[in-house]
Amino acid sequence: MKSKSLMSNHPILQKLQKCHSLNTLKQAHAQMVATGLSLQTYYLSHLLNTSSKFSSTYAITIFNSIPFPTVFLYNTLISSFTRHTHQIHLAFSLYNQILTHKTLHPNSFTFPSLFKACGFRPWLQHGPPLHAHVFKFLQPPYDHFVQSSLLNFYAKYGKLCVSRYLFSQINEPDLATWNTMLAAYAQSASHVSYSTSFQDADMSLEALYLFRDMQLSQRKPNEVTLVALISACSNLGALSQGAWAHGYVLRNNLELNRFVGTALVDMYSKCGCLNLACQLFDQLSERDTFCYTAMIGGFAVHGHGGQALELYRKMKLEGLVPGDATIVVTMFACSHGGLVEEGLEIFESIKGVHGIEPKLEHYGCLIDLLGRAGRLKEAKERLQAMPMKPNAILWRSLLGAAKLHGNIEMGEAALKHLIELEPETSGNYVLMSNMYASIGRWNDVKRVRMQMKDRGVDKLPGFSLVDINGAMHEFLTGDKAHPFSKEIYLKIGDINRRLQEYGHKPRTSEVLLDVEEEDKEDVLSYHSERLAVAFALIASPSSLPIRIIKNLRVCGDCHAITKVISMAYKRDIIVRDRNRFHHFKYGSCSCLDYW
């Protein structure tokens, strides 16, 4: 028998590797038939693998001509077909042939490529039944590649609890498996918006805990690991941990390529350090569309619409084509900067310049742009004239704009559509209830609340995270669970006295309760971000800025008092709410009260 090294160096295999078209492949195939190599499994597997690159029909023809194909040959062609999304159906067709075969059964080499194929959206539903086949045909302990492919599939399927369980069953996971799990947690908490939910925070924290376990296992991180870690820090606003990751890259002389660089630009932007994000962006030797998008997005959420537009134009001058996400963040910058005409020009360029039809997310930016500027009638007309059916996000933008400008009639119309599309989303009802409360229509507030109760909808609780010496502290509205709760509430009393000295009048219209004014002031005093600010004033050095992340939009009263606190206590306060950043300094905010 020929040794494997001699077989792998055979001239016919070298010829197969050099094939650049179906014609040259056919010549190699003819030579294999003439020399009898087409009867040997080893050479057949290479022929099948190469032929699938040029023609799936030709590959199937070769396969069907094999008298008694082995599971090895089935696996070879299945693996080849799963590398191309348009050939995945052929891979499953071959798998079904194995299942109906009298003597053949799938083995450990059959499943990994099929689970990889199941990671693509049209094929997701095939993953769980395929998992059942693993139990049927394989005996535990399962092959490492089977375990890893299963873990990867469930991560893409959105079943992180299953992925985590499978991960715990793997003895000494390799770096790729660690990276899969880390990326799954980081990506599950990533959104286009800057909002953070309890679940998002939990997923990001789990990624940080997992990375700590990885360090304890003595497994060294690579570029993929660091991107996942930095992304989790971005989602959580964990500046200290994100800066540590940046330091790790520098200390270990790792390449600061565009992938790691983009993740760091995004992280510093989302942690409120726009200057650091800009410095890093300027240092990168290689910048692609994703990198520009991250930096433009940073300018956008910090309220620097002019700089976002300037960078957008620079990117185009460098010959880079804006992607969908680039256009979204640039229009977002225009929306939050009051740059209406510039935003409209970008929207019109989607079709006029780039020759593509605007997508739902682009229309969402358009409605937000017009709505924030008070052009509600035009926003509604644009929404109704869309070529596709508006989704809940667009109607919510219109409802938010109606609330901002006090247009009850338009708000009620938007809410009607939202209840049809999302009957269980609390934020829709709360926005409308806020609008009624702001003008004292308490019967309507009660009616909206009854609608929520009848549909079993609970109001999304507000929470705030504050970073103190690298540790994240979480506060709910009216929270008394913190170990320093007594000191925090004493500080709240001190803050309220200082606010009175500075002439602050509480905006009690923000309270959705028909109670006495004094009680309303008490309700406002214990909003989650105020508790977070109070704790930061106690626990952090006066020389450091206070950094807070809030899962909801900052209310008008909290926004007003934070400006006063920044002046009264001479502290910079940076708040990231669900839409953008607010930099409070010397009694003013970077958003110029336009948010």
Helix (H, G, I), strand (E, B) or coil at 465: strand
- The average pLDDT across 364-378 equals 93
H helix runs in 455-555, sequence order: 485-501, 517-525, 528-539
- Band (78; pLDDT cuts 50, 70, 90): very high
- The average pLDDT across 420-445 equals 83
The C-alpha torsion from 576 through 577 and 580 to 584, rounded to 10°, is -50
pLDDT attached to residue 5: 60
Residue 465 tokens, joined: 């995270």
Pairwise pLDDT comparison (227 vs 524), residue with the higher score:
227
- Bridge partners of 550, per DSSP, are 464
Rg (CA), the chain: 29
**What mean pLDDT is reported for the chain?**
88
Which secondary structure element, helix H or strand E, spans residue 574, and what is its range? strand 573-576
Q: Which residues contact 186 (CB under 8 A, 6 or more apart)?
A: 203, 204, 207, 228, 229, 231, 232, 235
Strand order, beta sheet including 463-468 = 471-476, 463-468, 546-550, 573-576, 581-585, 588-589
CA distance 78 to 60: 11
How many helices (DSSP H) and strands (DSSP E) are in the chain?
31, 6
- The average pLDDT across 561-582 equals 91
Helix (H, G, I), strand (E, B) or coil at 473: strand
pLDDT in tens, 151-185: 999 988 989 899 999 999 888 899 999 999 998 88
Pairwise pLDDT comparison (356 vs 138), residue with the higher score:
138
Residue in the structure block whose two tokens are 């009639």: 409
pLDDT in tens, 275-304: 999 999 999 989 999 999 999 999 998 989
- Bridge partners of 573, per DSSP, are 546, 584
Judge whether residue 514 has pLDDT over 70.
no
Of 14-18, 53-57, 117-121, 460-464, least confident by mean pLDDT is 460-464
Judge whether residue 349 has pLDDT over 70.
yes
- The average pLDDT across 447-461 equals 82
Pairwise pLDDT comparison (124 vs 141), residue with the higher score:
124
pLDDT attached to residue 527: 87
CA distance 404 to 411: 10
pLDDT more than 70, % of the chain: 93
Buried b (16+ CB within 10 A) or exposed e, 538-555: ebbeeeebbbbbbbbbbb
Residue 196 tokens, joined: 């953070």
Dihedral of alpha carbons 409, 410, 412, 413, sign? positive
